[in-house]
Amino acid sequence: MKVAFYTLGCKVNQYDTQTMEELFSRQGWEIVPFGEAADVTVINTCTVTAMSDKKSRQMISRAHHVSPGGVIVVAGCYAQRDAQQVLALPGVSVALGNRNRGSIVELAQRALLDGEKIDAVSDIMRAREYEELSALCADRTRATLKIQDGCNRFCSYCIIPYARGPIRSRRPEEVLAEVERLSAQGFREFVLTGIHLASYGADNGSSLQKIIEQVSALPGVRRVRLGSLEPSVLTEEFCASCAKNPRLCRQFHVSMQSGSETVLRRMNRRYTPEEYAGYIQNIRKYMPGAAVTTDVIAGFCEETEQEHAETMAFVERIGFARIHVFPYSRREGTKAAAMRDLPRAVKEERAAELIALGKRLQEAYIDRALGTVQEVLLEEPDEKGRMTGYTGTYLRVAVPDGKQGQIVPVRLVRREEGELVIGEFFSGK
């Protein structure tokens, strides 16, 4: 029997897909690339924006076209939010959501045998325990490790707490066991991720700081990288601890969303721009040269030209190494859905201005890094035959040759094609 997968959305979704791949693989299923005919196709969906929903429907339609007689299982946030809409789509047999993924193989087999439509979505808001599943990782250099799920913040624009439920942390012993297993398979970098990573340990007596230290201390671990963080975790104590850890990558993705105090208040974000700037200063105080990246929502509800200008000025003041820009997308069921939305053209114009600013800041960050020597984890060849990989600060670097999985010292020589950096091996002389 053949099964194919397609993943939309964040690194947490990518990890969840790998856990479902593992379940099928254990039972002898052949995993084939998406786009090939399969008995079962699993679409792991995202619902963070209206465009995410649209892309999910497009991939469901494509799977039905490729395997018209096969079963389609729709998992993830879109299925969790609207199971009946998902089940009404042509070809969909199972809506699974974000709980009870351990039963996915059984559900797929039932649908194959009986031809029935199965609504397996359960109430995510009642979830209290982390669903413990291990992941099948195809890569051999960097492993994404989900250690937390759910969110209790309820930002006014965000549907994710309703799709992912309350915070749940993976037990430290399970995290460490999986790192040891993957390390034995040759992985050298581990990306710790979650829906609200900063809350890790709030429900099990641990903390993000503790689990970073425990993972970093394991033999074979060369790098630990963090997923997206809420700014409030970046206290002086936390940053001082990070600075003492040579295995922790000096790249921090710190969620911001807006640089305007009034917009942040409407978003129900729990900090002011000045407080955010203070958290970033903690990073730079203890880890000079660290890359700070962020997310920005362009054109949030009722945003004025002045508020947009405040965000532009704040982004430039912080000097991010990279920003991800998203035009605001209205989500039914959130508090912001009742606020006045801006015209699409206004949101797109403001997003374009932020993207252009982000590109300039990114190039400036890269240019400041030229001439430095940084360790690069070699991952794959590019179209010119060079080996490429990433520094601890997440700069993409190309070197003349090398072996996948090596971590090598490289002098950064010049910037090419926007964000690609050309490097040369450094001998220490």
* DSSP state string for 187-251: --EEEEEETTGGGTTTTTT--HHHHHHHHHTSTT--EEEE--B-GGG--HHHHHHHHT-TTB-SE
| Residue 115: CB atoms within 10 Å | 9
pLDDT tens digits for range 53-62: 999 999 999 9
| pLDDT confidence bin for 116, thresholds 50/70/90 | confident
Sequence spans of domains, the chain: 2-122, 142-368, 371-425
Q: Average the pLDDT over 359-366 and give the result.
A: 96
Name 203's bridge partners. Answer: none
Q: Average the pLDDT over 335-339 and give the result.
A: 97
Look at 136-145, 201-210, 215-224, 396-405 and tell me which has the smallest mean pLDDT: 136-145
| Residue 306: CB atoms within 10 Å | 9
* Predicted confidence (pLDDT) at residue 428 exceeds the cutoff of 80: no
Contact 48/17 with Cβ under 8 angstroms?
no
* Predicted confidence (pLDDT) at residue 208 exceeds the cutoff of 70: yes
Residue with tokens 């809420």: 230
Residues 6+ apart with CB under 8 A from 297: 157, 257, 258, 267, 326, 327, 328
Q: Average the pLDDT over 203-227 and give the result.
A: 97
* Predicted confidence (pLDDT) at residue 164 exceeds the cutoff of 90: yes
Rounded CA separation 109/1 (Å): 10
* Predicted confidence (pLDDT) at residue 195 exceeds the cutoff of 80: yes
Contact 191/144 with Cβ under 8 angstroms?
yes
Rounded CA separation 186/379 (Å): 12
**Helix (H) or strand (E) run with residue 6 in it:** strand 2-7
Q: So what's the pLDDT on residue 139?
A: 62
The 10 Å CB-count burial string (b at 16+, else e) for 37-65 is ebbbbbbbbbbbbeebbebbbebbebbbe
Superfamily of 2-122 according to CATH:
Methylthiotransferase, N-terminal domain (3.40.50.12160)
Q: So what's the pLDDT on residue 334?
A: 97
| pLDDT confidence bin for 134, thresholds 50/70/90 | confident
SS3 assignment, position 379: strand
Name 320's bridge partners. Answer: none
Look at 77-91, 129-143, 214-228 and tell me which has the smallest mean pLDDT: 129-143
* Predicted confidence (pLDDT) at residue 225 exceeds the cutoff of 90: yes
Of 55, 45, 43, nearest to 93 by C-alpha is 43
Residues 6+ apart with CB under 8 A from 101: 16, 19, 20, 23, 75, 131, 133
Of 61, 82, 4, nearest to 36 by C-alpha is 4
Q: So what's the pLDDT on residue 417?
A: 75
Q: Both tokens of residue 116?
A: 């029935």
Contact 323/351 with Cβ under 8 angstroms?
no
Helix 305-318, helix 273-286: angle, nearest 10: 10
Backbone angles phi, psi at 406, to 5 degrees: -70, 145
Q: Average the pLDDT over 385-411 and give the result.
A: 95
Rounded CA separation 265/86 (Å): 34
What are the start-end ranges of the H helices in 27-91?
A: 50-66, 77-81, 83-87
| pLDDT confidence bin for 140, thresholds 50/70/90 | low
* Predicted confidence (pLDDT) at residue 348 exceeds the cutoff of 80: yes
Q: So what's the pLDDT on residue 427?
A: 85
Average pLDDT in the chain: 95
Contact 15/148 with Cβ under 8 angstroms?
no
Of 127, 199, 164, nearest to 46 by C-alpha is 164
pTM of the model: 0.94
Name which CATH class applies to 142-368. Answer: alpha beta
* Predicted confidence (pLDDT) at residue 105 exceeds the cutoff of 80: yes
Q: Average the pLDDT over 325-338 and give the result.
A: 96
Q: Average the pLDDT over 152-178 and give the result.
A: 97
pLDDT tens digits for range 228-256: 999 999 999 999 999 999 999 999 999 99
Q: Got the DSSP string for 286-347?
A: HSTT-EEEEEEEES-TT--HHHHHHHHHHHHHHT-SEEEEEE----TTSGGGGSPPPPHHHH
The 10 Å CB-count burial string (b at 16+, else e) for 259-276 is bbbebbebbebebebeeb
* Predicted confidence (pLDDT) at residue 106 exceeds the cutoff of 80: yes
**For domain 371-425, which CATH number applies: 2.40.50.840, 3.30.420.240, 3.40.50.300, 2.40.50.140?**
2.40.50.140
Instruction: Say which DSSP state 257 is in.
Output: B
**How big, in percent rounded to 5, are the helix, strand and coil portions of the chain?**
40, 25, 35
User: In Å, how far are 102, 111, 231, 239 from 32, measured between CA atoms?
Assistant: 20, 19, 40, 43
Backbone angles phi, psi at 60, to 5 degrees: -65, -45
| Residue 285: CB atoms within 10 Å | 12
